Amino acid sequence: MRRHKKKKPSILLLYPIFILLIIVSIPFIMLASSGGLINNGAYEELKIPEVLQTQNAEKAIQVYFKDEDAVKDVNLEEYLIGVVAGEMPATFETEALKAQAVAARTYIINREKANNEESLKLHKGAAICTDPTHCKAYVSLEKTKENWKEQWEANYNKIKKSVDDTKGIIITYNDEPISAVFHSTSSGKTENSEDVWGGSVPYLKSVDSEGEELSPRYTSTVEVTITDFQNKLKQKKSDIQFSQEREKWVEGIENAESGGVKTIKIGGQTFKGTEIRELFGLRSTHFTLGFQNDKIVFHVTGNGHGVGMSQYGANYAASQGAGYEEILKKYYQGVVLKKAY
């Protein structure tokens, strides 16, 4: 089999989430840190969806804590500290952490509005869960103490500040909270959502993302035996035909705009890049494959589905002087930041 240098978009880990009841709280608007604020620190007020309002002056959200198998009401801003701690290393640039806080806040509010039966079932009615493979990563306060040890105070304060400094700020498109999806590391170009999940979303378009090679997960390799390769593909499409000349198994690759693998034709059957990613546990759909003795070797670039904000790309942009607002507007095209509460 020839080595193909095409790659492909990533898979769809839809990170689901949910509910939150926002409440209008004390108007301590901390407009002080003018760093990322637009219009001289005055964000346009966003009308708060009724479903997000509660009678208290607090923003509450229902979370399903998987470890404890329990649903609890928590303060959204406090919960976000645990999400940012779970999603990004505390060593990341402050502006990247702020971008993450705003993206996660937006994601949660958006999911709450888009709540559906399946998610409700998986969450026992809560808006979001703490399972990173399903919703967003979350680290409890106790766990952060364990993880960070003597660095705890400095790290915790840094992350808390990234949440506090962006309090209530969310990303909107047409005055609605966006689906603020994000991923670890892109291939150097993020993905169009339609290339990964099939649905076109105006603000989830492929953009250049610099500095990705600084991510420890930028490149990876996966080896599978030829037998496993054949069996897994056969399980997916039983009509697949493997000819004697293995160099001819891969018949063609259609690339996504990012350069990743959108579809790949193998043995007469067409697979989505996301299917191949899932079947062989690849970190992304940006892969090439070739034979090496009795094995197939995938060379993979990037980590994650590739749609929306790249966390390592955001960190690099911040290291180059970009503020969180600039970072978010780069990865989510045509959006407006607003203060939801």
Least CB distance to Zn ion at residue 70 (A): 14
Comparison of 62 and 206: residue with beta carbon closer to Zn ion: 62
Residues facing 221 on adjacent strands: 299
Least CB distance to Zn ion at residue 268 (A): 38
Q: Rounded to whole angstroms, how far apart are CA atoms 165 and 92?
A: 16
Q: Rounded to whole angstroms, how far apart are CA atoms 238 and 307?
A: 31
Comparison of 134 and 205: residue with beta carbon closer to Zn ion: 134
Least CB distance to Zn ion at residue 131 (A): 5
Comparison of 119 and 274: residue with beta carbon closer to Zn ion: 119
Residues facing 60 on adjacent strands: 21, 75
Burial of 39 (0-12, 13-18, 19+ CB in 10 A): exposed
**Which residues, 6+ apart, have CB-to-CB distance to 262 below 8 Å?**
8, 9, 195, 254, 255, 256, 272, 273, 285
Phi-psi region of 9 (alpha: psi -120 to 50; beta: other; left: phi over 0): beta
Summarize as ranges the residues that interact with Zn ion (CB under 5 A).
Answer: 16, 129, 134-135
Q: How many beta carbons lie within 10 A of that of residue 156, not counting itself?
A: 17
Comparison of 59 and 134: residue with beta carbon closer to Zn ion: 134
Comparison of 135 and 327: residue with beta carbon closer to Zn ion: 135
Least CB distance to Zn ion at residue 15 (A): 8
Least CB distance to Zn ion at residue 66 (A): 8
- Nearest one of 335, 24, 302 to 184, comparing CA atoms: 302
Least CB distance to Zn ion at residue 138 (A): 10
Comparison of 138 and 203: residue with beta carbon closer to Zn ion: 138
